[in-house]
Amino acid sequence: MSYASSLYFTGTEIGLSLAGLVLLLVVAWTGAKSARVITILAVSALVGAIAFTASLPTGSPADGFNSAFGGLLRMDSFAVFAKILIYLATIACLIITPRFFEERDGYRGEYPVLMLFGAIGMGMMVSATNLMTLYIGLELSSLSSYVFASFLRSDWRSNEAGLKYFILGALASGIILYGMSLVYGFAGTTDYSGIRAAFSTHFPIGALFGVVFVLAGLAFKIAAVPFHMWTPDVYEGAPTPVTAFFASAPKVAAIGMLVRMALVPFGGEVEAWRQIVIFASIASIVVGALGAIGQQNLKRLLAYSSINNVGFLLVGLAAATPAGASAILIYLVIYVAMTLGSFSALLMLRDKEGQPLETFADISGLSTTRPGLAWCLLFVMFSLAGIPPLFGFWAKFVVFQAAVQAGLVPLAAIGIAASVIGAFYYLRFIKVMFFDESKREPEQTSPMGHWVVLVVSVIVISPLGYFATPWLGSVASQAAAALFAVA
Amino acid sequence: MGFPILSIMLLVPLVAAIACLFLEAKSARVVALLATLIDFVLGVVLWANFDIGGAQWQFVEHAPLFAGFNYALGIDGIALMLIMLSVFLMPICILASWNSITRRVGEYMAAFLLMEVLMLGVFMAQDLFLFYIFFEGGLIPMYLIIGVWGGDNRIYASYKFFLYTLLGSVLMLIAMLWMANAAGTSDIPTLMQYNFPVEAQRWLWLAFFASFAVKMPMWPVHTWLPDAHVQAPTAGSVILAGVLLKLAGYGFIRFSLPMFPQASAQFMWLIFALSMIAVVYTSLVALVQHDMKKLIAYSSVAHMAIVTAALFAFNVQGLEGGMIMMLSHGLVSGALFLCVGVIYDRLHTREIDRYGGLAINMPKYALFFLLFTMASIGLPGTSGFVAEFVSLAGVYHASSFATLVLTTGIILGAAYMLYLYRRVAFGDQKNADAAAMPDLDLREWSMFAALAAAVLWMGIYPESFIAPMRSDIQALDARLAQAAPKGDAQLKVGPPNAHAANYIAHGSESTGEAH
């Protein structure tokens, strides 16, 4: 294991760190006026990171080939898949952010720089193969998230969201750390394959506690029930572009981290955590669906929708098979497209004075006042509800297929039946936009960047997406196989 | 197979639907009519080229476009007839909306054309999941049609329609996933010959039943139908009654029966019981309706109950009768909803009491209405008679009690239809505004004429429609023979009579005494 190869496989993180530090210096010297330029530079750094990540050799899953620094990080095809998705989501968030803050005099160069550091942390989360690197990546990304949530310094809702997020996030981190210490104590190592090897001979009850604590902490991070209660408040309070970010990139990172954690170090004791995952999955689907029904605020509703989606993702994890892991990755791609589509549409919904339209009453009759936007949202909502022929159906299809193949028919049946409850509130979007009379006059034009993100998302989730299934399926199953090849 | 006619039939309305979204009202109407007429012509070509008695699956297309499921199309005679029904009704639907829809015409036509794509796709799909995508996708345009262009209570109706049918369908998806996993393929023709373990069949059958029973709709999950019908615009009702309800019947005949024959036999009692309740109950409910559309909606439930009973009679007559019933009901109920639509457009009410004596001022209309009323009752010479007779003959082999109850439904059917007709078309012209309504114009006349011709053709020479399906139904019957339960009418063949029944013995004193 030479340093050259270690540096090569962590090239993405190193490159992004250098870019972040340089941009930070530029910001320090030029001040707020260069924020837009910094954003463009940050986006190009991320584009470069995607290009470099995609070029990394991932073909051979041979042991140790693509791991760096003595097994601290592993750049296998799973990590590559997740990272590219994270960077793409981050780029999309950077594109839709500036206008929102500029109008509130709050856009500064720190934002894109923090995004870059957040991206590094998220990249580490999905490629970490050691509890220590995992924790560093987690904290790096969380730290920037706390700042984002309270980025509108003058807005008390934003401050409250930041504080809530910070306190509950710190609590979750503490729980994870405690779980990790127990795992370390019983396994004698923080290395993933070492933990797996140690537990394969002997799995004491204390280690089970460790696993449960780690999973509970991770459930906080992915906002799975019963650790979801921060989500609606933070999503509602945080500035909308930040909410879009929270719902996309960090979600991918946290799910990726959870999947690797569950399947690699704890992959030998599937039965130990499967019940927990099944419970969290069904509870998330049901609570996410029921909680959304009474909501009037669209951001809050989308928060519950993300809880609901996490439930479906966990169905794939409960399968604990390569098909399940690949289904999660496919789901994540589609979920990110749907989330970014819905939030960029939300950012485009403003009245004539530029005030955001955030409740159902505000968007009634949108199909007559802004038909293009309304039709895009219709696609997104039917897709979120999982109604074919939209591509959101495919996401549900693959996770339930994995669950059925793993013999979890009751879980699949309950999960899919509960998805009908979810369909109810997605339909409400359509009903309000298409069936009701218009009450408020929305702003007629929207910036190009928002349209680009929205249209790209809508194309992904349109029935055209099915043509990508052979490619997406093979890439995702290759990525999933990497997790099982290690074992 | 050189010319991909099935794909073209899907593509034409799809392209037209996208075009309609961007067109203004006038051209959208023309584009929609042209697209549906092209599809109808393609349908006729399809029928003309269908090789009766040839291969079971014809016009097969197969393309490995997707992962996890195949783009596989192909039709047999059963699918062909239902495709014909759809492409025949679609231009009529577009014509029916010609003047009555004035708001957001482009979007309306786009929704209808998309609906056509998805309906045709359901009948053409040869892959389990492709079928599901088309089957479920149909909810989206119908939800919009009811919700945007429907009546006063449209929002409630659209939700009820959507959530009811969705809840029914999702369990079917899990069953499909299980089947594809167990059989290792999602190819429908292969699965139709695959023998699932009987224990599993029961669960699978119930999962499919949940979906099809709601869609059909069977009592007691039929309650979404009257609401949806009443609130939908006329053309929406036509397509709902004409084709969408048939998706469930097609589902029974394509999935439940051939794939789970043993389970179907075990649950025959359930189907019969629900069908019997439905026929009598909904017919009685129909008798007391004040709303014309609601009345016809309830009559639809009753007629579809005869379809379900006939399909599960496990014999050729039942299957043929069920199919003819579906085709006939598609035409007749569609026509009846049009009859309501025509006078609704003039007076904007569906209250039966607001009409009366229409035979005086609308003689052409009254004539067509009478024909379709009689077809609904099942008068010989109309399609309804063939349908009811063959279906009940089939059910009689299985259960004479069920036949008895189902026949009661037919008598009640005559009662509510004739009562409706009397109140609308005969009697005094008690409402001045109803008496002043003009008779049919050319557009309406041509829609009714087309439907009337089809109804009479099916009534007088049903062989045209049965012939393409015959070999498929026989194949299905052969597949079902392994599980077919014994009927309760165990006919014993006695010794043949020495003489014909009208034989008169000559030159014998003893027979002479009988006079």
Write out pLDDT tens, residues B8-39.
999 999 999 999 988 888 899 999 999 999 99
Residue A256, helix vs strand vs coil: helix
Is residue A472 within 8 Å of residue A322, measured between CB atoms? no
pLDDT at residue A59, as a whole number: 58
Any chain B CB within 8 A of the CB of A398? yes
| Residue B132, CB-side half-sphere exposure with 13 Å CA sphere | 29
pLDDT at residue B327, as a whole number: 93
Answer yes or no: is pLDDT of B515 > 60: no
Answer yes or no: is pLDDT of A61 > 60: no
> Among B276, B313, B289, B247, which residue's Cα sits nearest to residue B401?
B276
- Model confidence pLDDT, tens digit, residues A107-128: 888 899 999 999 999 999 999 9
What is the pLDDT confidence band of residue A132, given thresholds at 50, 70 and 90?
A: very high
- Write the CA distances from B342 to A30, B176, B297, integer angstroms: 73, 42, 17
Q: Taking the domains of chain B in order of start, what are their residue ranges?
A: 267-485
pLDDT at residue B513, as a whole number: 47
Any chain A CB within 8 A of the CB of B34? no
Q: Which of A370, A399, A414, A420 to mutate to test the interface with B (most CBs of B within 10 A)?
A: A420
Task: Using a pLDDT cut of 70, give the percent of chain B over it.
Answer: 97
Answer yes or no: is pLDDT of B52 > 80: yes
Query: Is A467 close to B139, i.e. CB distance below 8 A?
Result: no
Is residue A253 within 8 Å of residue A122, measured between CB atoms? yes
- Model confidence pLDDT, tens digit, residues A196-226: 999 888 888 888 999 999 999 999 989 888 8
Name the residue type at position A390.
Answer: L
- Model confidence pLDDT, tens digit, residues B378-416: 899 999 999 999 999 999 988 889 999 999 988 999 999
> Among A265, A164, A181, A266, which residue's Cα sits nearest to residue A220?
A164
- Model confidence pLDDT, tens digit, residues B165-208: 898 888 899 999 999 989 888 889 998 888 889 889 999 999 99
pLDDT at residue B209, as a whole number: 92
What is the pLDDT confidence band of residue A69, given thresholds at 50, 70 and 90?
A: confident
Q: Report the gap between the CA of B171 and the closest CA in chain A (Å).
A: 6
Query: Is B166 close to A423, i.e. CB distance below 8 A?
Result: yes
Overall average pLDDT of the B34-61 stretch: 90
As given in the structure block, the two tokens for residue A280 are 């969290």
Query: How many CB atoms are located within 10 Å of the residue A205 CB?
Result: 7
Answer yes or no: is pLDDT of B511 > 70: no
Is residue A87 within 8 Å of residue A121, measured between CB atoms? no
With contacts defined as CB-CB under 8 Å, which chain A residues touch B173?
Answer: 397, 400, 416
Answer yes or no: is pLDDT of A155 > 90: no
Report how far residue A181's alpha carbon sits from residue A209's, in angstroms, rounded to the nearest whole number: 11
Answer yes or no: is pLDDT of B508 > 80: no
| Stretch (H or E) spanning B58 | strand B58-63
SS3 for B186-254, per residue?
A: CEHHHHHCCCCCHHHHHHHHHHHHHHHHHHCCCCCCCCHHHHHHHHCCHHHHHHHHHHHHHHHHHHHHH
Query: Is B177 close to A424, i.e. CB distance below 8 A?
Result: no
- What pairs with residue B75 in β-bridges? B58
Query: Is B159 close to A424, i.e. CB distance below 8 A?
Result: yes
- Mean pLDDT, chain B, rounded, equals 89
- Model confidence pLDDT, tens digit, residues B272-301: 999 999 999 999 999 999 899 999 999 999
pLDDT at residue B497, as a whole number: 80
Is residue A294 within 8 Å of residue A425, measured between CB atoms? no
Is residue B95 within 8 Å of residue B443, measured between CB atoms? yes
Report how far residue A375's alpha carbon sits from residue A434's, in angstroms, rounded to the nearest whole number: 9
Any chain B CB within 8 A of the CB of A459? no
Q: Which residues of chain A from 419 to 438 reach within 8 Å of chain B, CB to CB?
A: 419-420, 423-424, 427, 430-431, 434-435
Q: Taking the domains of chain A in order of start, what are their residue ranges?
A: 3-486
| Stretch (H or E) spanning B46 | helix B25-49
Place of tokens 């090569």: A8
Of A382, A404, A474, the CB nearest to B140: A382
Chain A residue at shortest CA distance from B121: A389
Answer yes or no: is pLDDT of B89 > 50: yes
- Model confidence pLDDT, tens digit, residues A338-351: 999 999 999 998 88
